[in-house]
Amino acid sequence: MPTQSQVRVGNQTSYTASSMGLPFGYAIASGFDTFEWFPDKRDGGQGWLEGDISPVDRTNIKKKAIQQKITLSVHAPLVVNPLKDETYGAFTNAVGFALDIGAVLINIHLFAHEGIERYAQAIQPYIKHTAEANLRLSIENTPEASPYDFNRLFELLRQPNHTPTSHVGMCLDIGHANIYNQTRNDYIRYIMAIQRHVPIIHLHMHENYGDGDSHLPIFTGPAGQDPTGITAFVAEMKRRAFAGAIIMEQWPEHPYLLNNGRNRLLAIFNDNNV
């Protein structure tokens, strides 16, 4: 079973933060042991892109992460879509940034609207590129993606005619699972529909009330009143021997909510009765 040393919990950059580096500094000050960089510049100018971080700053990020024993990941920009050839350059920029800061994983979204067979074909250059860069590649469920899409995707990716995919897995976003139209307000049912041949290697944690992708800090939404869903989620992750990073995807007005979420999650993971 995963233990606290195997499961890491941390936070993510946010376009809502007053400065690009504030969430990372908070992670260091709070003793978080994982952190995700998300190039997410908005039309109004909020947020950042990889080009906003100089080579010197990239080196400093890497040094700080090593000193504090923080594993880093990178969420590719939202524009990255393997079905659109013109966005591959944005992905390669994200990979370059990930390598510069010493990240171990890069995350992209699943797009199923042209069929899973088409996506499995389109993602081959991404799989090859990350393998050559010695990066893990996680594929995240969007609010539109079903668990059956992931079951089929990893069936296809494991076929002998495809590029080796031992470094590829799913990023399970429980907030998105909670607003998927067939499992609304029941993300556990979504998770249980994911077959065991799908490796879950990365987690995004946030809450909502089933009415939108509101990215509430964990234990401030429905779980604040009734944590049994989170307990069931943790139990299933332990059964699947999950041992990766759990990223809290928000920068709340009161950042201590991140500390509370991390501490409660780790307490549940370390409860031998769960």
Structure confidence at residue 6 (pLDDT):
83
Q: Domain holding 29: CATH number?
A: 3.20.20.150
Euclidean distance between CA atoms 200 and 37, whole angstroms = 20
Q: Is residue 2 part of a domain?
A: no
Give 56-110 pLDDT, tens digit per residue: 999 999 999 999 999 999 999 999 999 999 999 999 999 999 999 999 999 999 9
Closest CA to 257 of 11, 6, 25, 4: 11
Among 35-49, 131-145, 219-233, the minimum mean pLDDT is found in 35-49
Q: Is residue 3 part of a domain?
A: no
Q: Is residue 49 part of a domain?
A: yes
- Contact criterion met (CB below 8 Å) for 143 and 176: yes
- Report the domain count for the chain: 1
Q: Is residue 274 part of a domain?
A: no
Domain containing residue 243: 8-269
3-class secondary structure, 36: strand
Give 107-128 pLDDT, tens digit per residue: 999 999 999 999 999 999 999 9
Q: Is residue 182 part of a domain?
A: yes
Give 247-273 pLDDT, tens digit per residue: 999 999 999 999 999 999 999 999 999
Backbone conformation region of residue 205, classed left if phi is above 0, alpha if psi is from -120 to 50, else beta: beta
Give 179-214 pLDDT, tens digit per residue: 999 999 999 999 999 999 999 999 999 999 999 999
pTM of this structure? 0.96
Q: Please say if the pLDDT value at position 142 is more than 80.
A: yes
Return the half-sphere exposure (C-beta side, CA atoms, 13 A cut-off) of residue 126.
Answer: 32
SS (H, E, C) 196-239: CCCCEEEEEECECCCCCCCCECCCCCHHHHCCHHHHHHHHHHHH
Hey, what amino acid is at 272?
Answer: N
